[in-house]
Structure 1
């Protein structure tokens, strides 16, 4: 971000000053305040366009940046291709354009990004705020699931994402200069964010627990021989958290209800429950996929298939109002076929692999950021087994820009480490 003579160009100063509050507000408030999840990224996109002359030919980008960017562009192109083949209305291209915008913003944030300290501070404050909101609603006794401006699902999954990034930040904080303060802040963020997720009653995030444990295990396994005591303490804390989760009444109740509804669907044909409707949506989605496995039937074509199944009595009419199928994989298959599914899997796997390649980094900042990115992507992959997060703007903006910001902060740290090593 500095010129050769170490003086900031006026454009650098301007866009960086504008970018910092946009990034901090997005990280800290996207689960709490309406429209922040769109305003922050929109500001970054405008700044990227404004600074485009200083961003190209992209000599500040590394090969892995292009791989990350390709995941966004491939998904964008696949969505456009499917929509063009099926002659969809122009409105169906709307969400896809966010992925193109994300690729442009990545070029920008790789040059203009906050420090890792500012990043973890914003994430921790955001996670603490989500938890305090949940505590406030529980104390007020409003009843039902806690939430913010949207529905409990997006609030709960947003809180869980912030909590997991806070937990990854603890990898760095225990060795930070002010490690006690940083550790307390990030630990508070983890606990309160997790509490908000539990109180939201969002079951889709809880299912990701085994995957989260697996990512942590892979990250810390090489350290086991050198730090057996520390790893055992971490395992004990993880077990304690698991026991606490199981003891939360809302978790046990909603889990038991889900199991009962699943059994009743197959045993008694009850398809008018929450789980039953989801299973009927999946049934209709797979039927649509079978009609055109290569490129699916498109969004409007799926509506036709769904209506036919409803008229035949094969699925419950209650699925008609839902815009998506509550399973991103089946949704991609139904509307985009193998092309749509492959693009979505690449969107998940490319950044996940890039993050996992750095979870064993000798630099603790890089390691913490990589772990945070890997946890976010893997949790999203599991959540989308029962949700279609990419079929709503709020889900799209969360999925694109949180990993993108984590990647940019981590890549900046990598650049700094390499610069020091070369001197």
Structure 2
């Protein structure tokens, strides 16, 4: 089915969709909508081709079904909350959206990718283009225009978080190309390294402090990706260069990063000592406290999709919560926001989504053994899940159009690429080590 003309055409189409999605998610604010529509159309065509076979081949694994169930369960709980409350998800500055339907589309596209699997190169080129573009935009906005935080006209927080993630994935892309040890591979690897630096730079210039907490975890995964591929000497030199680069950017006065870091301690002091919630962290503390109050009121099912704003206004009116930032229809934490809206049932569906993808990627990484390409893809999938889990601790990424589509798109794309036919062949690393790798 994959080798037929229709199968090859659909695999190519899916690859192009993944490439354009990864490359434009940060760069073009409305690209997520068109790519979602393209994924839906591709899935419909793939379903028709699959159904045309009299004896349908067994292409799905138990993990595929588990991920589909996790996506459908998460979307169903959210959809039920929308129907019960008769209120669509409201996003700041973007109005109402049918976000609860996106997990169903992601599940549909996941099955399409596992049936007509694109080459992982589409993913790697996409994340590198996205990281390079985000870095250029950040430099333009901070250096030429002189804005306070790079954001590309969306929101500085998801802009910085997604830039950091694409930068980290670009590092894995460089390793993916490097392990092939072909003449052109070193040029591609160098380009990926440059993309990683641009992605990290965009994150720093966005001033998104919450996302920086994920850096140690992403770094640990990146180091595990180099096992038996790059010598400890090369890894240590790379870490040293990255550390020097980060310190330089932080210390550079015009970047404003050092002031953002110092402000963390002042915000904490103002909130807990001076009872002043009129700061960035203070606002988050108030949101989290208000969200916990809402959860206690209805711990099983939550107060509903549309009850957040009304309840926030009530808490402010009774002086139970501060009014700073209470016009924002999200609670600056995916877990707390879900607890308040959909209670324990919603949080269980959210955690199952995280755990389902994380366990599937971890299983692939552990069982890859000498299959270097599969292991690198699986580790990149873990980066996506761990990165978004961390991002969601201080920002409701699932209440952001680019954030939610980024989680669904990257996790599904990586899982789909793991089914590519060349991934089934182990890649030996020992016989052809170059001087650079030694």
Q: CA RMSD in A?
A: 2.6
Question: Across the two proteins, how many residue pairs are aligned to each other?
Answer: 412
Contact 1:165 1:373 in 2 (8 A): no
Alpha-carbon distance in structure 2 between the residues aligned to 1:312 and 1:285: 15
Summarize deviations over 1:61-116 as a string: whole Å, max 9, x none: 122222222221121122123344x4333567821100001000111111234312
Task: State the Cα distance separating 1:59 from its structure 2 match.
Answer: 2.1
Which of structure 1's runs of 4+ aligned residues deviate more than 6 A?
Answer: none
- Superposition TM-score, scaled by structure 1 size: 0.89
Contact 1:171 1:367 in 2 (8 A): no
Alpha-carbon distance in structure 2 between the residues aligned to 1:367 and 1:238: 24
Query: What is residue 86 of structure 2 aligned with on the other side?
Result: 88
Matched, 1:77 2:76: yes
Question: Which of 163, 172, 177 is 1:173 aligned to?
Answer: 177
Distance verdict in 2 for CA 1:251–1:106, change over 3 Å: same
Distance verdict in 2 for CA 1:172–1:155, change over 3 Å: same
Alpha-carbon distance in structure 1 between the residues aligned to 2:129 and 2:243: 25
Task: State the Cα distance separating 1:238 from its structure 2 match.
Answer: 5.0
Moved more, 369-378 or 235-244: 235-244
- Superposition TM-score, scaled by structure 2 size: 0.86
Distance verdict in 2 for CA 1:322–1:404, change over 3 Å: same
Contact 1:170 1:368 in 2 (8 A): no
Matched, 1:2 2:10: no
Contact 1:366 1:414 in 2 (8 A): no
Question: Which of 150, 153, 157 is 1:153 aligned to?
Answer: 157
Alpha-carbon distance in structure 2 between the residues aligned to 1:367 and 1:413: 14
Distance verdict in 2 for CA 1:28–1:281, change over 3 Å: same
Query: What is residue 421 of structure 1 aligned with on the other side?
Result: none
Task: State the Cα distance separating 1:154 from its structure 2 match.
Answer: 2.1
Alpha-carbon distance in structure 1 between the residues aligned to 2:111 and 2:263: 46
Query: What is residue 431 of structure 2 aligned with on the other side?
Result: none
Task: State the Cα distance separating 1:234 from its structure 2 match.
Answer: 4.6
Alpha-carbon distance in structure 2 between the residues aligned to 1:104 and 1:190: 31
Contact 1:31 1:159 in 2 (8 A): yes
Matched, 1:302 2:308: yes
Matched, 1:364 2:376: no
Distance verdict in 2 for CA 1:242–1:131, change over 3 Å: closer
Q: Which runs of 5+ in 1 are unaligned?
A: 419-423
Alpha-carbon distance in structure 1 between the residues aligned to 2:102 and 2:217: 27
Q: Which runs of 5+ in 2 are unaligned?
A: 91-96, 427-438
Query: What is residue 50 of structure 1 aligned with on the other side?
Result: 45
1:298-377 alignment to 2 at 5 Å?
298-360=304-366, 361=368, 362-377=370-385
Alpha-carbon distance in structure 2 between the residues aligned to 1:46 and 1:141: 40
Alpha-carbon distance in structure 2 between the residues aligned to 1:137 and 1:213: 27
Task: State the Cα distance separating 1:223 from its structure 2 match.
Answer: 4.7
Question: Which of 180, 198, 220 is 2:204 aligned to?
Answer: 198
Alpha-carbon distance in structure 2 between the residues aligned to 1:58 and 1:160: 39
Alpha-carbon distance in structure 1 between the residues aligned to 2:88 and 2:265: 40
Contact 1:116 1:365 in 2 (8 A): no
Task: State the Cα distance separating 1:158 from its structure 2 match.
Answer: 1.8
Alpha-carbon distance in structure 1 between the residues aligned to 2:115 and 2:202: 34
Task: State the Cα distance separating 1:230 from its structure 2 match.
Answer: 4.2
SS of the aligned residue for 1:325 comes to coil
Task: State the Cα distance separating 1:299 from its structure 2 match.
Answer: 2.5
Alpha-carbon distance in structure 2 between the residues aligned to 1:64 and 1:241: 40
Summarize deviations over 1:107-148 as a string: whole Å, max 9, x none: 111123431223212221221121122223334143311221
Moved more, 94-103 or 243-252: 243-252
Query: Which one has the bigger helix percentage?
Result: 1
Distance verdict in 2 for CA 1:58–1:253, change over 3 Å: farther
Alpha-carbon distance in structure 2 between the residues aligned to 1:358 and 1:244: 37
Question: Which of 107, 115, 120 is 1:116 aligned to?
Answer: 120
Query: What is residue 273 of structure 1 aligned with on the other side?
Result: 279
SS of the aligned residue for 1:277 comes to helix
